[in-house]
């Protein structure tokens, strides 16, 4: 079935796309409506399970085969930083990670590897987040990120404050890099989404915090090995007390996903969940100015899908 036919039939099956979509309290999140069947720069999906939303979102971007080819090695980088349960919204939803791994394997990936450089003890975060089991059940492999030997020095020529970093070898060696952050409040960077999630692929995160965190986030986003795909998990969104959270009362169940190849566009859309203009979040504005991506959502073709 051609994608054009898919979307026509999906509308009849209860999936609404384009200008007709409303997103409740974030109705005007993405500005003007795109042409009905124009190629999408960004896809926003709302209303289903994490797996259902990814199925529809990746189809709208052209299918997982657009990103993953047979016999390639894929690295998936969720947020697994905290010893928290999925309901607390501190880590990426395990059901989303599982579905992404399943899609990659179905596309013929040779290996699908999942890791994070965690803040809490990695064995606990991998287990209690539910992500370790989800990855194994899907046929992927979970890999630790807790040892300095995994990380290798790279230069960041366009960096202002951050001009070099040590990056996990999986990022340097893989064919495909899929970035899967959870959207949440962050006490230092205002929010954490696509660009902030990349702190989990480097060894020395403390340098970022000591040397203008907002600028360092933008600097690292200029590094040449960018994610091939960004999938923002906004299923359970921590609205305060981030990045760890205190209790489930910090979390709002928004059942939303954002998919795009552009980290700046992804984070610009994510900022709307917190009632912020993208330009009000320094690392988004700085990354836009440095040419990493586009924060003006009015310039993008955005496809909206409601389940």
Q: Is the pTM here over 0.85, yes or no?
A: yes
Check whether 5 has a pLDDT greater than 50. no
Of 6-10, 59-63, 85-89, 115-119, least confident by mean pLDDT is: 6-10
Classify residue 41 by its DSSP letter. S
Indicate the pLDDT class of residue 190, thresholds 50, 70 and 90. confident
pLDDT for res 31:
44
pLDDT tens, 125-169? 999 999 999 999 999 999 999 999 999 999 999 999 999 999 999
- In this prediction, residues 233-247 reach a mean pLDDT of 84
Domain range summary for the chain, segments of one domain joined by +: 16-27+36-306
For 264-283, the pLDDT digits (tens) are 999 999 999 998 899 999 99
Q: Of 225 and 5, which is predicted with more confidence?
A: 225
Which has more confidence, 80 or 25? 80
Listing DSSP states for 208-251 in one string gives HHHS-HHHHHHHHHTSS---SEEEEEEEEEE-SSTTT-SSGGGE
19-33 mean pLDDT? 42
pLDDT at position 3 is 37
Residues 6+ apart with CB under 8 A from 66: none
- State the average pLDDT for the chain: 88
Report the CATH superfamily, name and number, of domain 16-27+36-306: LarA, N-terminal domain (3.40.50.11440)
Mean pLDDT for the stretch of residues 37-61: 92
Cβ–Cβ < 8 Å for 116, 79: yes
Instruction: Flag whether pLDDT at 112 surpasses 50.
Output: yes
Residue 23: phi and psi, rounded to 5, are -115, 40
Whether residue 19 is predicted with pLDDT greater than 90 in this model: the reply is no
Output the six-digit token pair for 233: 């998990």
Tell me what pLDDT residue 29 has: 53
Residue 239: the pLDDT is 82
- Give phi and psi for 274, each to the nearest 5: -100, 10
Residue 46 to residue 29: CA distance in whole angstroms: 12
pLDDT-wise least confident of 68-82, 177-191, 235-249: 235-249
């Amino acid at each position: 079935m051609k994608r054009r036919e898919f979307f026509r039939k999906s509308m009849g099956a209860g999936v609404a796309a384009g200008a007709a979509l409303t997103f409740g309290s974030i109705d005007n999140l993405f500005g003007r409506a795109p042409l009905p069947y124009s190629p999408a720069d960004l896809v926003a999906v709302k209303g289903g399970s994490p797996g259902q939303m990814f199925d529809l979102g990746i189809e709208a971007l052209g299918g997982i085969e657009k990103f993953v080819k047979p016999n390639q090695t894929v690295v998936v980088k969720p947020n697994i930083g905290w010893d928290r349960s999925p309901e607390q919204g501190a880590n990426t939803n395990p059901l989303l990670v599982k579905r992404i791994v399943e899609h990659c394997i179905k596309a013929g990936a040779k290996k699908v590897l999942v890791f994070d450089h965690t803040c809490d003890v990695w064995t606990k975060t991998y287990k209690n987040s539910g992500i370790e089991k989800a990855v194994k059940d899907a046929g992927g492999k979970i890999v630790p990120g807790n040892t300095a030997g995994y990380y290798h020095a790279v230069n960041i020529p366009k960096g202002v404050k951050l001009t070099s970093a040590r990056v996990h070898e999986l990022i340097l060696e893989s064919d495909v890099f899929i970035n899967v952050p959870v959207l949440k409040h962050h006490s230092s960077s205002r929010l954490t989404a696509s660009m902030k999630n990349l702190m989990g692929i480097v060894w020395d995160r403390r340098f970022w915090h000591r040397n203008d965190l907002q600028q360092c986030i933008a600097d690292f986003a200029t590094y040449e090995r960018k994610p091939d795909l960004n999938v923002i998990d906004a299923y359970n969104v921590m609205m305060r007390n981030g990045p760890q959270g205190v209790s489930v009362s910090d979390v709002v169940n928004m059942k939303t996903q954002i998919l795009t190849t552009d980290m700046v566009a992804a984070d610009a859309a994510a900022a709307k969940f917190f009632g912020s203009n993208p330009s009000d979040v320094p690392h988004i504005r700085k990354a836009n100015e440095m040419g990493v991506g586009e924060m003006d959502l009015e310039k993008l073709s955005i496809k909206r899908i409601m389940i």
